[in-house]
Amino acid sequence: MMSIRLRLILVLTLATSAIWLSAALWINVSTRAQVERVLDARLSEAANMVSSLMADRRIALNDGTGHATIALPMETGYSRHLSCQIWSLQGDLLGASSGAPDAVLSDKDGFTTTRIHDEPWRVFTVVNPQAGVRVMVGDRMEVRDRLVGDVVQGLLWPLAVIFPALALLIWVSVGRGLAPLAHLEGALLSRQPDDLRPLPETPDPREIRPVRRALNNLFRRLDDVRRTERDFTAFAAHELKTPLAGLRTHAQIARMATDPAVRDRALAAIATSVDRTDRMVRQLLDLTAIDQGAAPVERLDVAALLADIIQQAEDQAHARRVRLVTQADDLPPLSAPRILILSALRNLVENAIQHSPPGGTVSLTALCNGPGIRFVVRDEGPGIRPQDRDRATDRFWRGPGREVHGSGLGLAIVAAAVQRMGGRLDLGQGQGGQEVALTLPLSDTLQDRGGS
């Protein structure tokens, strides 16, 4: 791809050349017209001067034996190329200048352009009735063209000399104008791959500032992503290490125990650690799937979807002695990515079960809400404090003073999935517990919005 420098130089050079050629053409046409007017004035002046001299009889004419050779009164410079003829009103040639053609220069008064011996001539004719003569003064167009060419060439030569200097000036100016980009390139190339600090503010031209701001915004986002990934990796390693260590300890206890009661407690602890590890791994997989990319949109039966969620949560609810209740209105099919809506609702229900007291109830309800479907999950747990609701959807955040162990990923997964589906997540306070509502637009054209 053509570089910006070369593109600017090419555009500026072509534009300057076009202006230059237009100016040269205008100078040529304008100068030619001006010179033509001046030369015509010289013809008229010479003819009128000869006519006035004829009236004063200061020019000798023929004596009947042939026409006389006359000299023009101003034979200097351009006037030396003029030809003059003096004719009687009866059509006799009375006199002519040296070098004038034998044929009559013109048969009309005033200015005419004619051809004599296949050469174009410009002629001015004036009649003097008092002297009884017709005076004609003319010049060859070749002489005129050569004179005009000399004048135009004299005007254009300085421009031709200046043009290379102007091209060099354009090259240098473009280079200096692009210097901030070169400095920015140098600053980026000198960085280490893991250096995501914002670029320092410098007095850049106005056109470079948006680029610098965009790069700094990119660096900040990349730094946030890298920090999140680092925290994610550290958290996953820590959270997996704890249950695995517990599994090893309880397995050793169960293997070495001689008392059946001790063995049963160790096996129960192993089952709890396995469930905890399984849920955390599923949450990590859900989060990875949500972050990865687009998911296909399917037409989903809402009642069947709720039944699937309840079936997946039955073992966890039974272990915590929590009753599950579901209710769905007669709703039309929902067009949504199945993996996203399942991840969101499953994590909401599992969160509710995990924070509900033994013997409590968790309800999952789906109902029409204007142009959308509203899914509501209620539990009888302690709920989220109002001052913590803004942080509740942050990854790895766990509320203070919680007795229940969790990964801090449940609501983060729900929020990410809802954002991808273009829905809305509301964290409210239910009667005697927590209420979380998820609203999705009811549309056949609902699409996975990717990372937007």
pLDDT, tens only, 268-317:
878 877 877 776 677 667 666 666 656 678 888 888 889 888 888 888 88
| Predicted local confidence at residue 125, as pLDDT | 94
- Domain pair 4-165 / 294-452, same fold: no
| Predicted local confidence at residue 451, as pLDDT | 44
pLDDT tens figures, 351-365 = 888 888 888 999 999
* Residue (of 137, 98, 99, 97) closest to 121 by Cα position: 137
Above 70 in pLDDT, residue 69?
Answer: no
Question: What is the rounded average pLDDT of the residues 239-266?
Answer: 80
pLDDT tens figures, 17-42 = 888 788 878 888 888 888 888 888 98
> Taking the model in full, what pTM does it have?
0.47
pLDDT tens figures, 390-428 = 777 776 666 665 554 556 677 887 888 888 888 888 887
Percentage of the chain exceeding pLDDT 90? 5
Q: Which residue has the higher pLDDT, 370 or 264?
A: 264
pLDDT tens figures, 112-153 = 998 988 889 999 999 988 888 899 999 888 888 887 788 777
| Predicted local confidence at residue 332, as pLDDT | 84
Q: Which residue has the higher pLDDT, 84 or 188?
A: 84
Residue 443: which pLDDT band, with cuts at 50, 70 and 90?
low
Above 90 in pLDDT, residue 8?
Answer: no
Q: How many CB atoms sit inside 10 A of residue 418's CB? A: 20
| Predicted local confidence at residue 452, as pLDDT | 39
Q: Which residue has the higher pLDDT, 66 or 261?
A: 261
Mean pLDDT of all residues belonging to the chain: 79
CATH for 206-292 is 1.10.287.130
Above 50 in pLDDT, residue 447?
Answer: no
| Predicted local confidence at residue 107, as pLDDT | 85
pLDDT tens figures, 198-222 = 877 777 677 777 888 888 888 888 8
pLDDT tens figures, 158-168 = 777 777 888 88
CATH for 4-165 is 3.30.450.20
Percentage of the chain exceeding pLDDT 70? 81
| Predicted local confidence at residue 120, as pLDDT | 92
pLDDT tens figures, 91-104 = 888 888 887 888 88
The full set of domain ranges for the chain reads 4-165, 206-292, 294-452
Correct CATH for 294-452 of 3.30.1360.120, 3.30.565.10, 1.50.10.20, 3.30.70.890: 3.30.565.10
Above 70 in pLDDT, residue 226?
Answer: yes
| Predicted local confidence at residue 444, as pLDDT | 47
